[in-house]
Amino acid sequence: MDKISHLPEALLLQILSFLPTKDVVATSVLAKRWKHIWKMVPKLNFDYHLNQSQHETFSENVCRLLLSHKSSVLESLSLRFILDSCDGMDIGMWTGIAYALCLKSLKKLHLCYVDYKDDESVVNLLSGCPNLQELVIHRNLQVVRVFTIAVPSLQRLEIYDWSYGREMVGSYVVNTPSLKYLKIKGFPRLRFSMVEIAPELVEANVIDLSEVIDKKLMQSLASVKRLSLSLSPSEMITFPNTDLYLSPSELIAFPSTGTIFHQLVHLELSTDKAYWWNLLTRMINTSPRLQVLKLIGEWYYGKVGVSCKEWNQPKNVPECLETFVWNTYKEQQEEEKEVAKYILRNANRLKKASISIKGFNSDERLQLLKELENVVKASNSPCELLMC
């Protein structure tokens, strides 16, 4: 007995929205009721390796199905293809059809290694998506020098820029007042600026972007509640073909007074970057409500260890700190241990500390546990120490 055909149409559309568009269209032959249901699915997912046949090219298939789409709302449109297989005319035609149908209702947009004509073409594309909530960008720096993202409705933004070795220095200018989640990952030359504070920002991840951490950006992240940083404030960079020069003090340009991260409760910091401890000090000094602190280290072959003997300790540890996590490798634990001891010694309300050192044998683990237990006993905190 065919039970699925008797389900409400709204439920059928929800089920079909999880399938590739090729499989969704194939359901049209199941029964009379299914003949046109696929046209109402709010999510379209085209893949070059799936959406073509002996009788129809990928571009023809995409155009035909887009023109057949009847849903009043297009929540997601995904186009995955090989650059050499489609030219600019094909891409322009798909975009034009999408604009004509339902692009104003689009909520999710992923742009993966798209070639843009110029800076203005990016602005024009995003201006046609007034209800966009999620934007994910994968790109190599090409023609566009200033990638402007001005979408008031945007709630989630992810940028992955792999412009390693390029002579041009690109930048992103972001104006997204409704933003709740931000992730930036790329290469150190990249510049990133936010036009205004994102008051609704809940979580932000900034990875491998030394130069982008300036005073204006940090102020834009002032309302963030969860923050993950993998940065080095130590590099001294001169941008090619410009007069711009950034010193170590300018790379992490926090104001000397005042509270910045007044809502930050969860901080994760990478310890495999040079002078990471100086960044930690600045973050601790400007995060009075911090409840969770994680120090995460990575190790790889050929990595040169860094020393934090010249560490300028924070003024104090936030009173609200309750959880401390330290995950690292045997090769770099000796230097990081002094920072961990400082946290255990000065976090008066610490309830739980979780320590994991990869590469340690049982004897080494036990020895470190005893050493840290003595630090905890000497403090005033009711901390439970766990060695993973």
Question: Under 8 Å CB-to-CB from 381, ≥6 apart: which residues?
Answer: 344, 347, 348, 349, 350, 351
Question: Under 8 Å CB-to-CB from 313, ≥6 apart: which residues?
Answer: 281, 342
Spatial CA neighbour of 73 closest among 30, 121, 14, 5: 14
What is the band of 254 on the pLDDT scale with cuts at 50, 70, 90?
Answer: very low
Is the pLDDT at 141 greater than 70, yes or no?
no
Count how many Cα atoms sit within 13 Å of the Cα of residue 332 in the half-sphere of its side chain. 26
Is-contact 240 280, C-beta < 8 A? no
> DSSP states of 313-337 as a string?
--S---TT--EEEEEEEGGGHHHHH
Is the pLDDT at 50 greater than 80, yes or no?
no
Count how many Cα atoms sit within 13 Å of the Cα of residue 117 in the half-sphere of its side chain. 10
Count how many Cα atoms sit within 13 Å of the Cα of residue 78 in the half-sphere of its side chain. 20
Is the pLDDT at 82 greater than 90, yes or no?
no
Phi and psi angles of residue 9, each rounded to the nearest 5 degrees, phi first:
-60, -40
Is the pLDDT at 169 greater than 90, yes or no?
no
Is the pLDDT at 221 greater than 90, yes or no?
no
What is the band of 212 on the pLDDT scale with cuts at 50, 70, 90?
Answer: very low
Section 54-77 average pLDDT: 81
Count how many Cα atoms sit within 13 Å of the Cα of residue 341 in the half-sphere of its side chain. 15
Q: Distance (Å, rounded) from C-alpha 201 to C-alpha 184? A: 14
What is the band of 257 on the pLDDT scale with cuts at 50, 70, 90?
Answer: very low
Question: Under 8 Å CB-to-CB from 339, ≥6 apart: which residues?
Answer: 277, 280, 295, 308, 311
Query: For the ranges 53-62, 133-142, 378-387, which has the lowest average pLDDT?
Result: 53-62
Section 167-185 average pLDDT: 84
Query: How far from each other are the two terminal CA atoms of the chain, in whole angstroms?
Result: 53
pTM: 0.75
The identity of residue 227, as a single letter, is L
Spatial CA neighbour of 354 closest among 375, 380, 385: 385
Is the pLDDT at 356 greater than 70, yes or no?
yes
Average pLDDT over all residues of the chain: 80
Residue 168: per-residue pLDDT: 52
Query: For the ranges 101-105, 195-199, 207-211, 318-322, which has the lowest average pLDDT?
Result: 207-211
What is the band of 235 on the pLDDT scale with cuts at 50, 70, 90?
Answer: very low
Is the pLDDT at 246 greater than 90, yes or no?
no
Section 367-375 average pLDDT: 91
Structure tokens at 330: 């045997």
What is the band of 237 on the pLDDT scale with cuts at 50, 70, 90?
Answer: very low
The identity of residue 387, as a single letter, is M
Q: Which residue has the tokens 């709740």?
A: 180
Give the residue with greater pLDDT, 59 vs 216.
59
Share of the chain above pLDDT 70, in %: 81
Residue 299: per-residue pLDDT: 64
Section 85-96 average pLDDT: 75
Residue 326: per-residue pLDDT: 94
Spatial CA neighbour of 109 closest among 45, 17, 197: 45
Residue 196: per-residue pLDDT: 74
Is-contact 155 148, C-beta < 8 A? no
What is the band of 75 on the pLDDT scale with cuts at 50, 70, 90?
Answer: confident
Query: For the ranges 146-150, 212-216, 350-354, 376-380, which has the lowest average pLDDT?
Result: 212-216
Reduced 3-state DSSP string for 367-384: HHHHHHHHHHHHCCCCCE
> DSSP states of 72-125 as a string?
S---EEEEE--GGGS-HHHHHHHHHHHHHHTGGG--EEEEES---SSHHHHHHH
Look at residue 34 and give its three-state secondary structure: helix
Residue 243: per-residue pLDDT: 37
268-312 confidence digits (pLDDT tens): 999 887 778 888 988 899 899 999 999 998 765 445 545 566 678
What is the band of 117 on the pLDDT scale with cuts at 50, 70, 90?
Answer: confident
Share of the chain above pLDDT 90, in %: 25
Strand residue runs (E) in 244-322: 245-246, 266-270, 292-296
Structure tokens at 295: 């120090």
Residue 180: per-residue pLDDT: 96
